[in-house]
Each structure stands twice: as structure tokens, then as C-alpha cells.
Amino acid sequence: MDFAANSADRRHASEWLEPVAAGAMTTFLLVFFIRWLDDVHVNTMNGLWKSLRVAQWKADLAAVPLDPSNYLYFPMMGILCRALDLAGIHVGEAWRQMAIVNAGFAGVAVGIVFWLVRRLTGRSDVAALAALVHLGCAFFFSLAVSNEDIMPSYTLVLASMAMAAVWFAAPTAGQVVLVAAIFTLGWLTEWRLMFPTLPPLLLALALSQGGMLRRAGCIVLFLAAMIGTALIVLTVFRGHPGAVGLPGVLWTGKGVRSGWSGVSLDKLGLVVVGMGEYWLGGHNIPSPDVTSPLASEWGLAFAAEMLALVLALVLLWRRRRDPALRTAAVVFIGTLVAGEVMNAYSQPQDPQMQINVMAWLAVVVALLVGRLSGGAGVRPVIMVLAFCCALFPLAYNVRAFAPLRGRDGQMVGAVRALESQTDPDRTVFVYAGFETIVAWQFALWGPNWEGVCDLGAAPQAVPKFKWISLFGPLVHHPSWTDDEYAAAIRREIECAFDKGYRVVVGGLVWQKSPAELAEWMTSLNARARAPVLHALLHDNRRTIPLAKPILDDSFVIYQELVRP
């Protein structure tokens, strides 16, 4: 009896120690990779923009306004980065510290995947395989070693999905409340994560065991716990600058009436691109061009994902009477379906838009391998082959990111070089807005959003970074006509000339043809505006190339616009 009790205790301990060990090992490896790579902006510069707000929260937790769409993100990140300051880790460099924090949350996410698959299969080897597959997915890996803002909220939502997958077949009231609370903390950290996952969670409860009245009660309890958790958070921040009420966090409208929103055939193609790049490559590709060098990468990855999904659906259909597997399928595949519909309306190629939607992949691969390796005789061979196959995406993606090594230092040097060739007090820069160097100038020279007509006459020291965004009106005023768009850009350029500024155009946007500009503008549903923009820059304009190439996204020559 004592032996049986001790054995049960050991099994119970291993259920928690193994996921913790998997998460800790993952965090250690990710931090090592961050230090080696020296590029915490692998496929997006969004984190560098956000780091300025994080630095403000670090400096004063009481004065910086809350962001309704990221209600908990900035306070939480400010506190965690303060802790890293105290630990002597990248002191004063919030943009680097954010990547370290993300590595910690990513380790937790990998541990969650391990725990989930172990609970579903009862096998530690299959759980370890799932953890490795999840770590090796390109978008997850890249976001785990960068300073993009999605990883903390993703980890919280993933935790709620995993617990729901395990518990919601026959949930207790406490389990429903706990899942709802963690899910709410996740979408309060990143608002849009509510929408792909809330419907599947409610559907899982609707299909749970028990009579209709019990299932309806579980749904009501979940929604009440979600609202209650949100109200508690709102109460904690009551009176803080930027604080809002319950309607203000339930619907923030982030990105809805902007150039990022809207459905098009090109965006449907980008759904395929984003899903493929989630697994292999991790590139943030702006256009679904099947003739591009990367088309085989995302195309093959997408085909493999669809094969895995079809096989999984066959397996799940055969075991549809298994409540645990059915619930897991509803939660994870339901999030996939709802999420890709949402992505088709927004930015389907963006890593942070795919990461939570594609969490099903590691779970599905693990379940398929677990099924294939069920026999004792074939298990060792199949598991060895499975682990070797799982290592391939990780190795492929590390190799894909390796050329970026040292880019953070290079970009800091590029901004210094740009300052030495131009006088920021007398210069207005013209960029599309997607260029890497824009975020670096914004961060290193001081935050200042685009627009120059409100500036004083040159020279003007503050703001140091003075610039015009060619894509800005497409984001903020998507309903403008071509003439209105061209007039707005032309007005900004003429304002700069009238005030005596030197107008310098970023080489990356200058050298693009109309067709290349159209590809760049796909995610803004603005391909048709490319000829207008190209003509605006090149027709009736004289330019003088700046003397030396500067590292932007490539070595490019900046052009100085001269009035005709």
C-alpha cells in the first residue's frame, strides 16, 4: 500500500516537474540565442516602437496613460523590466529587456504544451515531442527571441486553452472560473486575442457532459467570471491616467477603421503565406507572390500543415466519442478557424497574428505520432524518427535567422552614419513607414510621429526626428481618393520646403518600381495606389544622391529631393 502511494506521488510530481523542466530549459536556450544573435527585431520592429512606452512605465508607474488595447501589458512589462534593472540585466535598455522577458514567457508556453499533451496522451515522450515542435515553429521561435509585445498575452491565452482542452469535457465550477480568469488576463494584455478563442471555449462548454441546463450554466458562469475578472482589473486601475470602464476594454476597435482592415483576394493569399511561414522561415512577407524565392518555403510548409490537419481530423472523427480529444479539437481547431477568418480581415502575414491561431500544430503532430507509436514494438523507432523530423524545422529556422546576427548593433551604427551625413536640425526624412531604420531613428532620436506642417522654420532641434510617412495616410485615411492621398503627401513635402528644410527620401522606397511598391502595400489593401505614389515621388522631381550607402534593410542610397 505504501509502495502504491509512493508511486502515485511520484507520478503526480512528474506531471508538474517535467513541464517545469521543459520550460526552464527552453528559456535558458532562448536567452542564449538572444545573446548570440544580437537582433531582438527578427521579423518585426513593433517591439522597438513599444519599448518607448515601456521605458516610460519603468520610470513612473503612476503617470503614464493606460492603453485600452494593451491594458495590462505596459504596467506588467514596466514592472518586469524594472526587476531586470535591479538584476543588472541590460540596465536602461528596455528594448533589449523586453526580449528577455519574452523568452521567459515562451518557456512557460512550451511547458504548457508539454503539460497539455501529457494529459491527453499519458506519455512524456510524446509531450516532449510536442514541446520541441512548438519551440521549432518559426513564428513562435522568432517572437520568443524578439521584443514584440505578443508573447505574454499569448502565453496566458494558451494556458487557458490548454486547461479548457483538459477540463471542459466535464468541468467543475472552479475549473470554469479559473480558465475564464486566465483567459481574461490574456486578452486584457492584448485585446484582439479575445476573438479567435472565446467562441471555441464557449462551444466546448456547450458540448460538455451533463444536461442542457448544466451546460448553459457553465457558459453563464464562464462569461460572469470573465466580466468579473475584468472588473477587478479595472477597479485596481481606477483613477489612473487613461483608465476606462468595462465597455472600453470589451471593445477598443483597434485597427478596425484603418488601412489594416478589409478583405481582399491578396489577403486571402497572405493567409496561406502566414500559415506556412509560421512553421518554416518566419519571414513577414508582404505579398503572396508564388514566383518569389520564398514561395517554395511557405508553400511546402502550408501543404504539410494541411496534410497534418486532414490526418488529425480523420483520427479525431474516429475517436469522436472520446470527450477529451473532442474538447481539445474544439478549442484548438476552433481557434484556427475563427482566427484565420479574423486574420483575413487584418494582417494575415504578421507573426503576431498567426501565433495564437496556429497553436494547434504542435498538438496535432503529437497526437498523430502518439497514435502511430502505440505499439510497444515500433514505439522506439517511430519516436526517434519523430524527434529527428521535429529537429529539422528548428534547425532550418535557426539557419534562416543566423544572417541577422549583429543587426541591432549595425542599425545603431546606421543611425549614427545618417546623422553624420545629414543635419537633423535642418532635415526632414521621407519614408514609406515600414523601413527598419524608421523605428531606430524614432527610438534613438526621440519619439515623434510623422508630419511636418506644424514644425517651425529650420533649424529646429526638437523634435530631432522630423519625417513624412508615405503610408501613414493609407493607414489612417483608407477611404481617401487617389487625389486626396496625393494632395496630402504633396502638402507635407511642400511644407518642408517652405520652412527651409532639406528633404531626404529613404533609398528603400525611392528605388522601388510601381510593381514592387504594390507588393509592399498589399497588407494595406492599397496596391492600386502604387502608381500614384511612384509618380508623386519621381515625376517633376529632381534629386541629388547622398554620397555614401547607409545600412537600411539593405545598402541603399538616400536621395535629396530638390524643388523643380
pLDDT at 237: 97
pLDDT band at 262 (very low <50, low <70, confident <90, very high): confident
Q: For residue 488, what pLDDT is reported?
A: 94
What radius of gyration, in Å, describes the C-alpha atoms of the chain?
Answer: 25
Short-list 445, 482, 373, 474, CA closest to 125: 373
Q: Enter the C-alpha cell of residue 370.
A: 502518439
320 pLDDT more than 90: no
**Per-residue pLDDT reduced to its tens digit, 403-430:** 999 999 988 988 998 898 889 999 999 9
Which of these, 134, 148, 138, 140, lies nearest to 40 by C-alpha position?
148
Average pLDDT over residues 176-189: 99
pLDDT at 3 (0 to 100): 47
Mean pLDDT, residues 298-324 taken together: 94
Helix (H) or strand (E) holding 331: helix 323-345
Q: Which three cell numbers stand for residue 507?
A: 533609398
Region of 543 on the Ramachandran plot (φ > 0 left; ψ -120 to 50 alpha; else beta):
beta
Interval 36-62 mean pLDDT: 93
Nearest to 278 by CA among 398, 401, 361: 361
Eight-class DSSP state of 522: G
Residue that is written with C-alpha cell 513612473 in the block: 60
CB 475 within 8 A of CB 459: no
Domain residue extents for the chain: 18-404, 407-562
Most confident among 228-232, 339-343, 504-508 (mean pLDDT):
228-232
Given a cut of 80, is residue 336 above it in pLDDT? yes
**Could you tell me what percent of the chain has a pLDDT over 70?**
94
Res 266: pLDDT: 86
Q: What is the mean pLDDT of the chain?
A: 92
Its pTM stands at: 0.93
Average pLDDT over residues 89-111: 97
Alpha helices in 122-193 (DSSP H): 124-136, 138-144, 151-167, 173-189
The reported pLDDT for the residue numbered 556 is: 66
Among 64, 53, 55, 76, which residue's Cα sits nearest to residue 240?
64
Dist CA 227 CA 184 (whole Å): 8
Q: Above 70 in pLDDT, residue 546?
A: no
Q: Is the pLDDT of residue 2 over 60?
A: no
Mean pLDDT value of segment 543-548: 63
The mean pLDDT value for 452-463 works out to 94
For 375, the grid coordinates are: 505499439
Shortest CA distance to 488 belongs to which of 505, 501, 500, 471?
471
Count of CB atoms within 10 A of residue 369's CB?
25
Report pLDDT for 374.
74
Average pLDDT over residues 520-536: 89
Within its chain, how far is the Cα of 305 from the centroid?
20
Predicted confidence (pLDDT) at residue 547 exceeds the cutoff of 60? no
Does the structure show a pLDDT above 80 at 289? yes
Among the residue ranges 140-154, 209-223, 235-249, 525-539, the one predicted with the least confidence is: 525-539
The secondary element (H helix, E strand) that includes residue 420 is helix 407-421
Q: Which pLDDT score is estimated for 1?
A: 45
Write the pLDDT tens digit of every residue in 140-153. Answer: 999 999 999 999 99
